A and B are shown apart, each in its own frame.
Chain A
Amino acid sequence: AQKVTQAQTEISVVEKEDVTLDCVYETRDTTYYLFWYKQPPSGELVFLIRRNSFDEQNEISGRYSWNFQKSTSSFNFTITASQVVDSAVYFCALSESGYQKVTFGTGTKLQVIP
């Protein structure tokens, strides 16, 4: 069975601070896919990144970066120099190879204070 744990329920940071959102996953498969989604206050779910289990390279996209470590089953997300527009709920998710079913974590609510 697959499981995604986001232990941080809520985080508050002051604008321009860096913040890391933790994600720990469980799966018995050797091939799997990890995702991050953003849900702003408007409610829609926005895809941010997809990573397969064979690609452990960290990725950077602007102020966003992702650290994938298979040894610790973690896929953490860092926002550098946070902005108020980053305030949202962030979800980590997992799907196993060959399956379209995606399991979501419970989400981390990030509040960036001006």
Chain B
Amino acid sequence: DAGVIQSPRHEVTEMGQEVTLRCKPISGHNSLFWYRQTMMRGLELLIYFNNNVPIDDSGMPEDRFSAKMPNASFSTLKIQPSEPRDSAVYFCASTSRAPNTEAFFGQGTRLTVV
């Protein structure tokens, strides 16, 4: 299995621009998570989906952030407009159908907003 695939691996953008991060979960996994990692705040859960439906988006920092999961094999996290404080590593993770199983993480997208 190829694991969780995220793209791009690195993104540098100017403040005010729209940024879209992409994630392909492991085939057969039915839960998908978006995390943000910064030095100051550690690993924060932004949103998670179960069977393509958003279950908990309480971690999404602002309305500038939005996430979609149009099908079981693809999800996006969009930031519009981006700000320098959004600079972080964004991880996508997926878990299998069994409850409380471990999450498998992608390699992350390092976002830098200048």
Contact = CB atoms under 8 A, between A and B. Distances in A.
A107 B31 CA distance: 24
Contacts of B31: 100
Contact of A102 (B42, B45, B55, B106): B45
A44 B108 contact: yes
A45 B102 contact: no
Contacts of A44: 105-108
Interface in A52-70: 52
Interface in B86-105: 89, 91, 93, 95, 99-105
Contacts of B102: 35, 47, 50
Residue with the highest number of chain B CB atoms closer than 10 Å, among A33, A44, A98: A44
Contacts of B100: 33, 50, 52, 95, 97-100
A71 B45 CA distance: 28
A104 interface: yes
Interface string B37-55: 0000011010010100001
Contact of B42 (A37, A46, A52, A104): A104
Chain B interface SS verdict (over half): strand
A9 to B, nearest CB: 11
B48 A43 contact: no
A104 B100 CA distance: 14
The 7 closest A-B pairs by CB, nearest first: A45-B105, A104-B43, A33-B100, A106-B42, A47-B102, A100-B31, A44-B107
Interface of A: 33, 35, 37, 43-47, 50, 52, 91, 95, 97-107
Interface of B: 31, 33, 42-43, 45, 48, 50, 55-56, 89, 91, 93, 95, 99-108, 110
